Amino acid sequence: MRNAFSDVIYEMAQTDPKICVLVADISPAGSMEKFRERFPERFINTGVAEQSMIGIAAGLALKGMRPFCYTIATFSLYRPFEMIRVDLAYQNLPVTVIGMGAGVIYSTLGGTHHAMEDIAVASAVPNMTVVAPCDPAEMRLMTRWCATQSSGPVYMRLGKVGEPDLTSSSIDPFIAGKIRYLVRGTDLAILTYGNTAAMAMAIATKLGALGISTSVISVHTLKPLDISGIALILKSHMHNVVIEEHVPHGGLSSRVKEIAWDIQLKNQIHVFTLKDEFIHSYGEYSDLLASHGLGAITILETLSSIKFETIL
Amino acid sequence: MINNKKLMPDSEVKLSVQRCLKYRKRILEISQQVSALHAAGAFSAIEIVDCIYNSLMRGQPGVNSPDIFLMSKGHGCMSQYVVLEDIGVLTRRDLDLYCKKEGILGCHPDYGNPGIEASTGSLGHGMGLATGIAYTERYLQKSEAVVYVVFSDGELQEGSTWEAMMMAANLKVSNLVGIIDHNGFQSFGRTTETHPAFYPIREKIESFGWEVAEVDGHNQSAIYNAVREKSGEKPFMVIANTIKGKGVSFMENSPIWHYRSPTAEEFQIALAQLQEVQL
């Protein structure tokens, strides 16, 4: 994802002189080398100083630039939070804050590097748009949208490396602010975003083999949420599942339940999220997800054994 | 970058003194409409703000000036409002409706209001904003703009101020001119007593790659001349030594006047004292 990001930002900068990049000494900024060499004046490394990164980006945006701030999610959103709230959101400036390696993808770096509540934190701020594309192609489209949108600041949650292509054969095109069917089924819908979309696709395939026709929806725009789009999904599938790599509160699963209440939904909702607990263990990314009940096998077993008598 | 006009002539000093008296009286007048307006912190910054708007900035500020003004010390914005009223950017009605539901002006500057170029009020934001603005003007848009920022001394306790101050020097934004309203007071009292390790200021700022001058912050020509005589290579900071509540004896150096408005009786005494200074 990060290499694809550096490619698209480089492409955009060639035709749009407003595009600039600010990083806070993040080592993957190495992937920005091409940008830095070609556009040295539009590349600012603030050093290990994230408050300065956001404040300076706001100053750039006040003068008409389109800054993208880029570092690890915990440091791009949490450390300079009040700068994001006041400098970017209160002044409603078109700055994109990239949260790299969000979720628990930095599995061996420990809880200091896990962004488990970033969607809730970013979504709580007025004027803020919150997005989480699920694969490099969706990220490219989202990044292009960020560079031209006029709605204010954006927090973009990104994974790290090696995301598979999930969207090249998707049912729906990408439209910012709208949910997007990646595959369409009739019995069960999985709503997800970002990192966990790949897992959702794999689960859908397995469920399909069991005779359960499954939709997978990329909810790449978490705020503003496509409420009518989600309401339609909930009504048209007997069982609805939310998989998100995020604490249980303030993310997609709680929003989906709010919508379900508002439309007096009769169909079922099952949510799989991280627990409301910090993670003190290490191992592979998948180990951490599994330790919080977000393992693909657990989810598949749960859905297969408990939920599908009514469907099958 | 800054024009070559050196040293403020005596005639301009006289005009400035008259303006600052008018500004203090106007602030006192408005203080009678509201329970609080940070009068003391505004009084310490009056000569600084007057000097920037009326003497240093080119063109017509808020209309066609190439230069930019940020009140990083947002709670001192009453000093900015009265100047903006005086130069016709804000209306008398705007100030009469200060903090009223029908009005547009509150206790801190709001981006989007006439003459207000960034929202401030949360301390420690101005240095980052100003650095980004100055960098864009100088290196991306290749303009001749000078960015003037008024800081409180208290916000030098914010780490974000130093982060951005270091970065301003790294980015060589020599078009950035900061002026610290160094009144030496914060909510709990005199900073030399509450936070003695806060000092020295000058050496700290110089060690961050800035050029620094120290002046009497109630002496308009001293502020003006310091800015005109800067070398032009580095970002520039003026430490303007001021008196919190300057001009009204019972407000001077008294922490309770950080926020509250004078009573009707205190108002009359304050006005009389200002008149006396004028005589």
Output the DSSP codes for A259-294.
HHHHTT--SEEEEE---SS-----S-HHHHHHHTT-
Can you give the pTM of this predicted structure? 0.95
Determine contact: B139 vs chain A, CB below 8 A.
Answer: yes
| Rounded mean pLDDT, B148-165 | 97
Residue of B68, B69, B122, B140 to mutate, testing the A interface (most A Cβ within 10 Å of its Cβ): B140
DSSP state of A163: P
Record: contact A41-B140, CB cut-off 8 A: yes
ipTM exceeds 0.90: yes
Express each pLDDT in A29-43 by its tens digit: 568 889 999 999 999
Is residue B124 in a domain? Answer: yes
Rounded CA separation B91/B132 (Å): 30
CATH of domain A2-157: 3.40.50.970
B164 pLDDT above the threshold of 50:
yes
**Amino acid symbol at A171:** I
pLDDT of the residue at A311: 45
Rounded Cα distance between A284 and B244, Å, is 58
Cβ atoms B196, B160 nearer than 8 A = no
Q: What is the mean pLDDT of residues B196-215?
A: 98
Do A2-157 and A180-306 share a fold? yes
Window from A215-224, B28-37, B108-117, B147-156 with minimum mean pLDDT: B28-37
Q: How many domains is chain B partitioned into structurally?
A: 1
Q: For residue range A213-240, list pLDDT tens digits in order.
A: 999 999 999 999 999 999 999 999 999 9
Annotation: CATH topology of A180-306: Rossmann fold (3.40.50)
Query: Residue B24 domain-assigned?
Result: yes
Residue B36's pLDDT is what? 79
**Are A91 and B134 within 8 A, CB to CB?**
no
Q: Assign residue B92 the CATH number of its domain.
A: 3.40.50.970
Contact list in A for residue B137 (CB cut-off 8 A) is 63
Quick: pLDDT tens for A198-209.
999 999 999 999
Average pLDDT over residues B209-235: 96
Q: Environment class of residue B140 by beta-carbon count within 10 Å: exposed (0-12), middle (13-18) or buried (19+)? A: middle
What whole-number distance in Å separates Cα of residue A310 and Cα of residue A303?
12
Can you give the residue ranges of every domain in chain A?
2-157, 180-306
3-state SS class at B125: coil
Q: Compute the distance between CA of residue B62 and CA of residue B80 in angstroms, rounded to an integer.
A: 12
Query: Are A55 and B159 inside 8 Å of each other by CB?
Result: no
Residue B63 structural domain: 10-278
What are the CB-based long-range contacts (under 8 Å, 24+) for A195-200?
A: A195/A102, A195/A103, A195/A105, A195/A134, A195/A159, A195/A163, A195/A245, A196/A103, A196/A243, A196/A244, A196/A245, A196/A294, A197/A134, A197/A135, A197/A166, A198/A134, A198/A135, A198/A163, A198/A164, A198/A166, A199/A243, A199/A296, A199/A299, A200/A243
Q: Compute the average pLDDT of residues A177-200.
A: 97
Q: What is the pLDDT of residue B1?
A: 45
- Asked if pLDDT for residue A193 goes beyond 80, the answer is yes
Say yes or no to pLDDT of A251 above 90: yes
Residue B157 lies in a domain: yes
Inter-chain touch B133–A59, beta carbons under 8 Å: yes
* CB neighbours of residue B128 within 10 Å: 31
Q: Are strands B236-241 and B176-182 parallel, antiparallel or unpaired?
A: parallel
Whether residue A128 has pLDDT greater than 80: yes
Mean predicted confidence (pLDDT) in A59-70 = 97
pLDDT at residue number B278: 57
What's the whole-number mean pLDDT along residues B67-96?
97
Domain presence at residue B207: yes
Q: From CA B213, how far away is CA B219, in angstroms rounded?
A: 14
CB contacts, 8 Å: B171 with chain A? 44
- For the cut 60, the answer to whether the pLDDT of residue A118 exceeds it is yes
The answer to whether residue B4 sits within a structural domain is no
Burial of B139 (0-12, 13-18, 19+ CB in 10 A): middle
Q: Does A52 contact B131 at a Cβ distance shorter than 8 Å?
A: yes
Angle between helices A197-209 and A296-306 (to 10 degrees): 40
Contact A55 B131 (CB under 8 A): yes
State which residue of chain B sits closest to A63, comparing Cα positions: B133
Is B239 a member of any domain? yes
Looking at per-residue pLDDT, the higher value among B201 and A3 belongs to B201
Residues in Cβ contact with A117 at an 8 Å cutoff, skipping those fewer than 6 apart: A246, A247, A250
Q: How many helices (H) and strands (E) does chain B have?
A: 10, 7
For chain A, give the mean pLDDT.
94
Confidence of residue B279 (pLDDT cuts 50, 70, 90): very low
- Residues B1-22: tens digit of each pLDDT: 454 557 899 999 999 999 999 9
Contact yes or no for B74/B117 (Cβ under 8 A): no
Share of chain A above pLDDT 70, in %: 96
Helix, strand, or coil here: B36? strand
Of A300, A269, A271, A289, nearest to A206 (Cα)? A300
User: What is the average per-residue pLDDT within B123-128?
Assistant: 98
Enumerate the residues of chain A whose CB falls inside 8 A of the CB of residue B135: 44, 56, 59-60
